[in-house]
Chain A
Amino acid sequence: MLFVEFRFFAFFAFVFGVHWTLRSNTARKAFLLACNHAFYACFFFGDPAAFLAHVLSAQWQELPDGWWFPFVLIASTCMDYAVGIGIEDSKRPASRCAWMVATIAVNIGVLCYFKYFNFFVTSVAGFLDWLGLPTSLHALEIILPYGVSFYTFQSMSYTIEVYRGNRPAERSFLNLAFFISFFPALVAGPIVRAIAFLPQTHAARRWADVDVRGALVLFLVGFVKKACVAETVAPSVDQFFAAPESYTALSAWIAVILYATQIFCDFSGYTDMAIAAARLLGYELTINFDFPYFATSVTDFWRRWHVSLSTWLRDYLYFSLGGNRGSKLFTYRNLMLTMLLGGLWHGANWTFVIWGALHGVALVVHREWAAFRQSSPGLTRFMGFVCVPLTFYWALFTWIFFRAPDFTSAASVLEAFVLWRSPGTASLDVRLLLLIAGCALIHWLNFRGVFSTWWRRIPAPAFAAAYGAASAVVLLFVPTTYKPFIYFQF
């Protein structure tokens, strides 16, 4: 059930109506918890009537693949509930540590099994094959459950915070289960921190506190990004990356820029809709994007792109490794490790590892550069002009590895993108750049704050009329079929 589908609107209308009709906070949370799991089950159960029929008649082999994945979420929640209380109730540091290690091992184990088992097996088999050694390793038929990377990190944030003593263990199972499975953020983030979300579950949400207008605008903006922009450029990107060597160098540039647009609009569009949906239910989620393509450096880029992941990695991985509390070399090692694992988090493929490594190298270089630049004010002024395009170029460069299915494709695109050399003659429609230029202009005006408040000042009926008209116009550009959100696969 995608946020841009009609059935989601029907689902959300029902959830919204019942949620605000219920009086008690516990009833609301219990209701939302049931809705969260129903929402998640929709991704796996297929037709609910047929699913129920097969279960009641014990025809297990007839059930759709991965039908039991929702139970992994439930098991994960139960474990973290027990671990949180176990950590808090432990008197000795060693037993607290044992609880912590156990939960990390299980959570990472689940992630490794679903996401990285086949990657590991095929990589080892490939390596052994390269060495000329016989091997009988086989990949398994494993389906990746939607959202496992997101909710695993969310639940780990809870246990780590309890372990560090930053928050007490949650004694209410309902609250914890609600937090881990909250449906707007369940399948593709943002990765909500326990420390930010759990306090919201303790007090009843008040309709008067809901910024309805802000949430509605955010939802429409997210909808446009995903349904109109990302879906429009996706076919051209797919077409190019299916056979990059047959396109001209100019087309390679167009395709990479289109992909940068697609991934931003797809993921930030999803996030906008998730934040808006949560806000309409009275809950605040973490900000995930802050105009990343206007970043002035790679360090700044990571403060603006997928913020909930980058801060998670910083707080729980980079700092745990020692952060920048040691020598320069020690800091850079930690940076590289964090970014390598961050790359791997996105997918079980060496291209993602390289993507993470490139960003790690860029962060190291930027640290050195920042130190050097401080001694040269003239250079700082000059860099003020080129830092944004340079960072954008670097982001485009790295997206090639993120999108390319393998290194051969990536090499073809890189040759055309960096050296303007390509044997191909086919070309993408240059007019697509006009669409991108239009989007970029609107994005820049938004970055400058042009659209930030005027719609808040107009009278409510005028806003309602404008919103209705805008919704009707937006629907003109919505394709009838959708691709799943890109980040669903992570």
Chain B
Amino acid sequence: MLRRSLNVLVFALAFVLTAWTIRRVAPMPDVLVVKDKLEYFADHKDEFQALFCGSSRTNSGLDPEVFDATLRENGITARSFNLGVPAMMPPEQFWMIDEVLAQRPRSLRWIFIELLPLQLHTIGAEETSPTIRDVYWRGWRETAICLRAVWHDAGADRAKPLGVPEGWDGAPKELWKRCAKVIPPAMATWIRFAGGAGAHLALFARCQSNIGLFARMEEELGEDTSSLETRGFMPRSEVIEGEALERYETVLQKLEHAPPLPPDPVAARAYGELLARVRRHGVTPVCFTTPTSLRRDFYPSPPPGEPLLAYNDPQRYGVLYEPGSRRNVDHLNKTGAAQLTRLLGLDFVSLVQRNALR
């Protein structure tokens, strides 16, 4: 029995070690935009002093050339690159920043980090058939954030009865609801946690065992938005109009009266840890928010004491919310991008001149 158990242990060890080694030496999987941008940055890593990291709002909202020109006008010489990727939210965003820092870029001085809510599954990814985009970034650190978020949500819902699994109708639903009422809150928290944690651990295992690294994989974001010739910036010339414009105006009206979202301590802690890591590499993080019209409090609060360049206030930054500046409800077009970049550049210069950056 002991010998058999030892053999099983040897098998497991060999499996883990081999998978770990392959992960270290194998090329990154073909993740659209992400791979292109990381490879481009690796080839030009010592050319840039500033990076913008965030979602599609950053990708099509910040023009490095405009930013560099704004800084130059104010006596700061810098060359920037837009690392924004459509649908990139934390923890994937954290992975991207860590990858960039791991390349040890010598000239890099500032990383502009778009504060974003935690998104535990990449948009569009189905849990039953995970895409490469939902898998490739799941390391220990990122999975720990996912598990923390799942645990927090499970505990936050303690007062509510346990949810009914999708597809349950009829008698067992009622039975389940009745059972759920008598389940102690602590156990309910664990049940909720187990459901969510299992999915994230499975994705972690999939990532760490390199499943399908050299095989065909499904890809969600078919559009190539790598835009390396414009230094990662994806200029979009469309202007919001028609039904989309009407919807946008309605959304803007509702924005002011939306009830506040509860604060997210998991996201705040994760951002705090990220900023500390960035500083350890001798780089200064700068937090910013983009002019979304989803909600004012869509973005999590920055860690205490961190300056924030926030542009998500329609009253203060009305020019960014003009229909002529927008491509759709949530994104800026080329005109809006130029305005946002200039505003960000000027505010950043002000921070530097006031010595307000840590």
Contacts and interface: CB of A to CB of B under 8 A. Distances in A.
Given A460-B3, A461-B6, A468-B18, A481 B218 contact: yes
Contact of A478 (B3, B12, B165, B212): B212
Interface residues of B, number: 39
Interface in B18-66: 18-19, 22, 26
A229 to B, nearest CB: 11
B140 interface: no
B14 A59 contact: no
A302 interface: no
Contacts of B17: 469
A479 B8 CA distance: 26
Contacts of B15: 468-469, 471-472
Contacts of B129: 480-481
Given A478-B215, A479-B212, A479-B216, A53 B170 contact: yes
Nearest to B135: A480
Interface string B207-223: 00111111111100000
B334 to A, nearest CB: 36
A429 interface: no
B210 A475 contact: yes
A468 B218 CA distance: 27
Nearest to B20: A472
B169 A465 contact: no
A207 to B, nearest CB: 10
Given A53-B173, A468-B14, A469-B15, A476 B215 contact: yes
Interface stretch (A44-52, A94-102, A279-287, A365-373): A44-52
B191 to A, nearest CB: 14
Nearest to A466: B14
A311 interface: no
B194 to A, nearest CB: 15
A320 interface: no
Nearest to A482: B129
A477 interface: yes
B14 A475 contact: no
B211 to A, nearest CB: 5
A471 B19 CA distance: 9
B170 A54 contact: yes
Contact of A59 (B6, B170, B217): B170
A291 B211 CA distance: 29
Nearest to A481: B129
A476 B3 contact: no
A465 B171 contact: no
Which has the most chain A C-beta neighbours within 10 Å: B16, B132, B215? B215
B217 A53 contact: no
B210 A480 contact: no
Contacts of A235: 216
B7 interface: yes
Contact of B14 (A465, A476, A478): A465
**Which of A52, A62, A460, A468 has the most C-beta atoms of chain B within 10 angstroms of its own C-beta?**
A468
Interface string A376-406: 0000000000000000000000000000000
A464 interface: yes
Interface string A164-189: 00000000000000000000000000
Given A468-B11, A472-B22, A49 B167 contact: yes
Contacts of A25: none
Nearest to A57: B170
Nearest to A50: B167
Contact of B168 (A53, A469, A475): A53
B76 interface: no
A478 B135 CA distance: 14
Contact of A53 (B12, B19, B167): B167
Interface string A438-478: 00000000000000000000001101111111011101111
B10 A461 contact: yes
Contacts of A475: 19, 209-212
Given A49-B172, A468-B10, A480 B167 contact: no
Which residue among A53, A232, A471, A479 has the maximum number of chain B CB atoms within 10 Å of its CB?
A: A53
A80 interface: no
A487 B146 CA distance: 40
Contacts of B172: 49, 52-53, 56
Contacts of A49: 165, 167-168, 172
A57 B169 contact: yes
Contacts of A463: 7
A157 B132 CA distance: 47
A258 to B, nearest CB: 15
A270 B19 CA distance: 25
A124 B347 CA distance: 80
B13 interface: yes
B323 interface: no
B18, B129, B218: which has the most chain A beta carbons within 10 Å? Answer: B18
Contact of A480 (B10, B165, B171, B212): B212
Contacts of A476: 22, 26, 210-215
Contact of A461 (B7, B16, B171): B7
Contacts of B173: 53
Contacts of B132: 480
B170 A472 contact: no
A232 B16 CA distance: 25
Contacts of B211: 475-476, 478, 480
A231 interface: yes
Contacts of A468: 10-16, 18
Given A461-B10, A468-B13, A477 B18 contact: no
Contacts of A472: 14-16, 18-19, 22, 209-210
Contacts of B3: 460
Given A465-B13, A476-B214, A481-B129, 20 more contacts: A6-B202, A50-B167, A53-B168, A56-B171, A232-B215, A464-B7, A464-B10, A465-B11, A468-B11, A468-B13, A469-B17, A471-B15, A473-B22, A476-B210, A477-B214, A480-B129, A480-B212, A480-B215, A480-B218, A481-B218
11 contacts: A57-B169, A59-B169, A465-B11, A466-B14, A468-B18, A471-B15, A472-B14, A475-B209, A475-B210, A476-B210, A479-B216
- The 9 A-B residue pairs whose C-beta atoms are closest, nearest first, are A57-B170, A468-B14, A50-B167, A472-B18, A468-B15, A465-B14, A464-B10, A468-B11, A464-B7
Interface of B: 3, 6-8, 10-19, 22, 26, 129-132, 165, 167-173, 202, 209-218
